[in-house]
Chain A
Amino acid sequence: MKVPAISLLAGTLFGAGLTISGMADPARVRAFLDLFGAWDPTLAFVMVGAMVPMAIAWLVQKRMPRPIVCEAFDLPGTSLLDAKLLGGASLFGIGWAIGGLCPGPALADLAIAPIEAGIFVAAMLAGMTAHRIITK
């Protein structure tokens, strides 16, 4: 039970951080992406704030033989650049701009605006399912 409990704690902190930072506010996300309007740089501060603990964590990780609780690190590769990466990120960027939501904030917003966030999350799951069917 210890491992899911740590994951729940991390998810809760993550959701709280998204909400406090403004990242879970579609209007603010849109304002950040709106270079030709009344540009709102807040999300740049969110990224800087998130980078600091994570950059330190990566430095610590290099010196650790294994994570504190689990048996081994299970991390993705870092170098492969392909059309899937570019195409996927491009489509994601379009959706992020249209809805003002990315996956984490959409899930956090289920607690705040369940109808709007629920519609988005349902469509997002449908998009993920479509990808699975196509790539099978």
Chain B
Amino acid sequence: MMLPGFPNATPVAGLVGGLLIGLAAAIMLLGLGRIAGVSGMLARASGISDTGTPRAIALAFIAGLPLGALLVILSSSSIRPLFTGSVLQLVIAGLLVGFGTRLGSGCTSGHGVCGLSRLSRRSMVATLTFMVSGFATVGLMRAFGFING
């Protein structure tokens, strides 16, 4: 389905994928009593953090992420993420995301999906902050000619 005025948008795939993400987070909350926060669980699974989700739970969740992606691309020929950035760009971005999510205690999943739906003041402020920061950064990249078209 197309969205009038936005030829590249895929609203139905977005909604369906979003529902799966929300369902997964709901299973973590109601089944295991925990937040499906990916940055926190990655830190725990990798041994960088000693506190938080028990390690076996974190490891299993983290392992599921590429497994789920694999199942989707095996069953669909049209879904292929597009990477355009340079290696340097990926390294700088990864460092900032790793450091920033630990300092700010969460990312798009923990603060965004889980925190916003809980109406957590802390998560609302964090989500607003990283959204504005993201919009501003892409705006600056465009202004300085890193993005064309």
The number of residues on chain A lying at the interface, defined by a beta carbon within 8 Å of a beta carbon of chain B, is 117
Please report whether the interface of chain A is mostly helix, strand, loop or mixed according to DSSP: helix
Interface string of A105-134 (1 = CB under 8 A from B): 011111111001001111111111111100
Please report whether the interface of chain B is mostly helix, strand, loop or mixed according to DSSP: helix
Contact B33 A90 (CB under 8 A): no
Contact of B71 among A16, A26, A79, A84 (CB under 8 A): A16
The number of residues on chain B lying at the interface, defined by a beta carbon within 8 Å of a beta carbon of chain A, is 118
| Contacting residues of chain A (78-122) with chain B, CB-CB under 8 angstroms | 78-81, 84-104, 106-113, 116, 119-122
| Contacting residues of chain B (1-26) with chain A, CB-CB under 8 angstroms | 3, 6, 8-26
CA distance A21 to B106 in the complex (A): 21
Q: Given that A78-B120, A89-B104 are contacting pairs, would A97 and B25 also be in contact in the complex, using a CB cutoff of 8 Å? A: no
Q: Given the complex, which residues of B lie within 8 Å of A96, measured CB to CB?
A: 93, 97, 108, 130, 133-134, 137
B144 located at the interface, meaning its Cβ lies under 8 Å from any Cβ of chain A in the complex: no
CA distance A54 to B116 in the complex (A): 9
Contact A20 B138 (CB under 8 A): no
CA distance A14 to B37 in the complex (A): 11
**Which residue from chain B places its CB closest to the CB of A6 in the assembled complex?**
B31
**Which residue from chain A places its CB closest to the CB of B115 in the assembled complex?**
A78
Contact A26 B85 (CB under 8 A): yes
Q: List 26 A-B contacts (CB under 8 A).
A: A4-B56, A7-B57, A9-B64, A11-B62, A13-B24, A13-B64, A14-B61, A20-B17, A21-B14, A41-B11, A48-B15, A51-B117, A89-B126, A91-B99, A93-B130, A94-B134, A95-B98, A99-B92, A103-B38, A108-B66, A110-B66, A110-B69, A113-B83, A116-B85, A129-B98, A131-B99
